Chains A and B, each alone.
Chain A
Amino acid sequence: MSSNNPTEYVLADADLHLVELVNRVLDRGAVITGEVTISVAGVDLIFLGLQLVISAAESATGRHGLMRRTPPA
């Protein structure tokens, strides 16, 4: 199988780590208070994590928009 997408969204290893971390801390773990902070209703939290990463990166670099690069032909 090969992708027909001409561009590829790329995250550094540190960003992937943060995404996996967010997914665990916000969507897993034991609940003892009977309520959760965030209701995610079927939304994969890896995308919420991505938004946190993107927001952090935008703040750090002053640039906005999704990080992307075009892979070599």
Chain B
Amino acid sequence: MGIYAYCVVPAGHESPADLRGLSDADVELAAVGEIALWVSRIAKPEVNAEAVQQHNAVVEAAVTQEVTPVPLRFGQWMEDEAAMVMAMQEKAEAYATRLHEFAGCLEFGLRLLDPAEPQGARPVQESTPASGLEYMRSLQESSRLADRKRGEAEQVRARITELLREFIREERQEEARTPHAFLTMSHLVAREHFDAYRERARQIRELYPELRLLLSGPWAPYSFAG
């Protein structure tokens, strides 16, 4: 049996009495000076869809009008509670600052996908080059296409950021890691701007009809917690 942590909250921010966590365990408040953790005393959990959803359910239960927790990544489990408290004490000041910055805000995700198949050079991984020269040319063409795509994505990102600037506190961009991923952004948005942000995102969709825009949220601010 060990201790599993879901999120960082302000000191004294108690969990609801009827809240259940992973393995249907109680969710408790573990104080660490000016901050605290919501934790459960359980064995090391397995990763599955249900556990992921339950972890997030606890994190979201910590959200109120005044408090937005610092979400922890799934799997923050330690055998020794004292060791976990010590690890938290080292970062307590940084987490306290983040709690202050997150208060009243949540995260939205913008994902632009390019449904078009890649044009030009064959994917290097799928090709069977007849010669080393052909292989090098294929690599060169793939690199050129990737550079062009990054340039286009940066232009789109800059435009989207400008259009949303008045509504966002912070922005994170994720590197595209799959062929159809054109742009992946996360925005920290204050509650009073939620509706305006959503409306502006819908307008952005119309600016790029060739791309598929997926808007998600609001989420607890996982993308800004690391």
Contacts and interface: CB of A to CB of B under 8 A. Distances in A.
Interface of A: 1-5, 16-18, 20-22, 24-38, 42-44, 46-47, 52-53, 55-56
B64 interface: no
Chain B contact residues: helix, strand, loop or mixed: mixed
Contacts of B78: 33
Contact of A2 (B49, B116, B214): B116
A21 B8 contact: no
B203 interface: no
Contacts of A29: 71-74, 222, 225-226
B84 A33 contact: yes
A53 B53 CA distance: 12
Interface of B: 5, 8, 47-49, 52-53, 55-56, 70-78, 84, 87-88, 91, 95, 109, 111, 114-117, 177-178, 181, 210, 214, 216, 219, 222-223, 225-226
- In the complex, which of the residues A28, A47, A52, A55 has the most CB atoms of chain B within 10 Å of its own CB atom? A28
Given A2-B116, A20-B111, 10 more contacts: A1-B210, A20-B109, A24-B222, A25-B55, A28-B73, A28-B225, A30-B72, A31-B73, A32-B87, A34-B87
A17 B8 CA distance: 24
Residue of A31, A42, A53 with most partner-chain B CB within 10 A: A31
Contacts of B111: 20
Contacts of B214: 16, 20
Given A24-B219, A42-B177, A44-B177, A32 B77 contact: no
Nearest to A47: B178
Nearest to A1: B116
Contacts of B226: 28-31
A73 to B, nearest CB: 17
Contacts of B70: 30
Nearest to B8: A30
